[in-house]
Copies of this chain bind each other. A is one copy, B any other.
Amino acid sequence: MPSKVSSSSKDGNSPKISEATVSRLPAYYRALSQLADAAQVRVSSEELAALTGVSSAMLRKDLSHLGSYGTRGVGYEVEFLRYQISREMGLNNDWSVVIVGVGNLGRALAHYGGFGSRGFRVVALVDADQTLIGTKVKCGAEGKTVELLVHALSDLEDVIKETNARLGVVATPAESAQVVSDRLVKAGIRSILNFAPVHLSVPEGVDVRKVDLASELQILAFHEQRKAV
């Protein structure tokens, strides 16, 4: 897994769903959404597993941690199961996202339309580049396009407070990532998605997930190298 949650264990009373399971729930959700779009009513563990690339046994065990939402001899109701996963994952809530670093990647993320359909909304863009600050960037894809102003890094705390952002995306160069992360945390952000290829140190209670594209290619290269000549 090219990325891991770092800190935070957090358990109050919830039955504790394993990290491995959590990391697969989004794929199930996505597949169920697809089936729902195709107006399919029911799905078996076998079918859903094939769609998501896991074994049917693993799928069933994963789902069993959420509750007993299937019917033996029949399968799962697509819409019902989809709803249960979305509820468990908090996708009903509206998640506000602030993106710091509006370069190649930050802009691509802002333009992307696929987040909105899943409860995520980019509400603020922040950069340190004077030539970018004050410019407008189109956010979201067809239909729901919004123009967002690029804010100055110095306004980070205010922007977060005003927009109530709870998720932070770091898309700055590696050198600035730790500083940006520190400021995000200080401003109250406790969930960070980091694209900079550095490890971010954050206090207990803050989650960081790292997406490292270069690492992914390197891992592929490693295996490629080992394949028969």
B30 touches A2 (CB 8 A): no
A220 touches B209 (CB 8 A): yes
Q: How far, in whole Å, are A2 and B24 apart by their CA atoms in the complex?
A: 8
A108 touches B104 (CB 8 A): yes
Most chain B CB neighbours (cut-off 10 Å) among A6, A107, A226: A226
For residue A169, give the distance in angstroms from its CB to the closest CB of chain B: 8
Q: How far, in whole Å, are A205 and B227 apart by their CA atoms in the complex?
A: 8
Q: How far, in whole Å, are A104 and B209 apart by their CA atoms in the complex?
A: 22
> What number of A residues sit within 8 Å (CB to CB) of B?
71
Known: A104-B108, A222-B22. A214 touches B3 (CB 8 A): no
For residue A48, give the distance in angstroms from its CB to the closest CB of chain B: 11
Q: Taking the complex as formed, is A29 at the interface, i.e. its CB lies under 8 A from any CB of chain B? A: yes
Q: Taking the complex as formed, is A213 at the interface, i.e. its CB lies under 8 A from any CB of chain B? A: yes
Contacts of A2 in B (CB 8 A): 1-3, 23, 209, 211
Which of B1, B25, B91, B118 contacts A4 (CB under 8 A)? B1
